[in-house]
Amino acid sequence: MINLLNNYFKSFSIIIFSLSITMGGNNSNSVKEFINNDEWFAEINNGEYILNCRIGGMENGGETVILLHGFPETSYMWVSLMDLLVKKGYRVIAPDQRGYSPKARPTLIKEYTLKHTVSDVLAIVNAYKLKRFHLVGHDWGSSVGWAFIAEYPDMIYSWTSLSIPHMRAFQEAYNNDFDQKEKSKYIGFFNMPFFPELYMSFNNYKNLRRVWKVHGDEEINAYLNVFRQRGALRSALNWYRANIGNRRKPSDYIQFGNVKVPTLFIWGNMDMAIGRKSVELSEKYMNGPYNFVELYAGHWLIQEEFDKVSNEIIKHLKKYSSSFYEPHLGRKK
């Protein structure tokens, strides 16, 4: 009976919180929260687009953590970490990023630059009226994260990048390191029109399925449910076309400089896409607290080494929480 009452009051508090968010106004960054198959979701507006986000622990009193997925995954990649963070008292938001959310799927390649994807994160921040938060990313989600902390460093408690080094370090290795050039050959293929979509979707997405060697069947089905949607695969590939190898408008460029935000970088030394050179070069851009963790793993760190990765993330969140910063000033002690 006690457990039943606890669950009742917990559900009631979530509903009240959700109503207060949903009824908070008609501004362009409003939030609509709802339950689907026993999971909480939020729809967040960014101009004409609506991002679909997994959410958890919104009734908690802890700090907020935003989780950004990469290619070819969705917010589903974070479900186990979300459960763990919620139990630790955090409020967690994991969007299906631009191109993956059905109502945020621009047709123009130029709308997938990091400048635009950063604006999606900012829309989430503004919708929930966050002054500071923790940010975690993987793959393209990490690229968005590096871009966000370059543009808005004072909004971040801590930053965690899985697999992807500092953007200038990667660019240097991409241009000059033989190993990274070999690992990055797929990018040239992804930049081609039409053929990558045909190759990956052929024979019931057989070639795309090969990427998910360490993923479970339920997770793979969750991803295929998205990529089977009209325009989803093309939109996901447009991230490469918009940001690597093509000319962008000057206003779309982001100045990646030295990083003062407390940073955790976890890399698997068997990563098929990221070589050691860019990983080692990252340290020279770190002017704040920096922790690098190397694992005997590949690119899919959450799936391959969940316990080690989640433990490192939680330690990082705890160490660089609000208590690390002076009250009201937003500066380090």
Output the average pLDDT for the chain. Answer: 90
Q: What is the pLDDT of residues 22-35, one digit of tens each?
A: 433 333 457 999 99
**Among the four given CATH numbers 3.30.70.270, 3.40.50.1820, 3.30.365.10, 2.60.40.10, the one describing domain 2-324:** 3.40.50.1820
Average pLDDT rounded to a whole number, residues 57-69: 97
Q: Rounded distance, CA 20 to CA 4, Å? A: 24
Q: Rounded distance, CA 81 to CA 59, Å? A: 17
What single DSSP character describes residue 77? G
Residue 10 has pLDDT above 90, yes or no: no
Q: What is the pTM (predicted TM-score) of this model?
A: 0.91
Comparing C-alpha atoms, which of 137, 134, 163 is closest to residue 314? 134
Q: For residue 293, give Cα distances in angstroms to 62, 113, 267.
A: 26, 29, 6
What is the percent of the chain where pLDDT is above 90? 84
* Spatial CB neighbours of 319, under 8 Å, sequence gap ≥ 6: 158, 262
Q: For residue 32, give Cα distances in angstroms to 45, 78, 307, 319.
A: 9, 21, 33, 32
CA 12 to chain centre: 29
Q: For residue 6, give Cα distances in angstroms to 2, 84, 90.
A: 6, 19, 19
Question: Phi, psi (5° rounding) for residue 72?
Answer: -100, 75
Domain boundaries, the chain: 2-324
Q: For residue 297, give Cα distances in angstroms to 29, 62, 269, 294.
A: 39, 31, 6, 9
Which amino acid does the sequence have at 161? S
Comparing C-alpha atoms, which of 185, 179, 139 is closest to residue 301? 139
Residue 15 has pLDDT above 80, yes or no: no
Q: What is the pLDDT of residues 197-216, one digit of tens each?
A: 999 999 999 999 999 999 99
Predicted pLDDT of residue 163: 98
* Partners of residue 263 on adjacent β-strands: 159, 290
153 or 18: which leads in pLDDT: 153
Predicted pLDDT of residue 325: 87
Half-sphere exposure of 164 (CA within 13 A, CB side): 23
Residue 9 has pLDDT above 50, yes or no: no
20-24, 63-67, 159-163, 240-244, range with the lowest pLDDT: 20-24
Pairing of strands 91-96, 64-68: parallel
In Å, the largest CA–CA distance within the chain is: 65
What is the percent of the chain where pLDDT is above 70? 88
Q: What is the pLDDT of residues 181-199, one digit of tens each?
A: 999 999 999 999 999 999 9
Predicted pLDDT of residue 326: 66
At 331, is the pLDDT very low, low, confident or very high (cuts 50, 70, 90)? low
- State the residue for tokens 């976890």: 266
Residue 39 has pLDDT above 90, yes or no: yes
Question: Phi, psi (5° rounding) for residue 258?
Answer: -70, 150
Predicted pLDDT of residue 141: 98
* Spatial CB neighbours of 4, under 8 Å, sequence gap ≥ 6: none
Q: Rounded distance, CA 322 to CA 42, Å? A: 25
Q: What is the pLDDT of residues 101-123, one digit of tens each?
A: 999 999 999 999 999 999 999 99
Average pLDDT rounded to a whole number, residues 238-251: 83
Alpha helices in 98-231 (DSSP H): 114-127, 140-151, 167-176, 178-183, 185-190, 195-209, 217-227
Predicted pLDDT of residue 29: 56
Comparing C-alpha atoms, which of 112, 260, 274 is closest to residue 186? 274
212 or 18: which leads in pLDDT: 212
Question: Phi, psi (5° rounding) for residue 162?
Answer: -100, 120
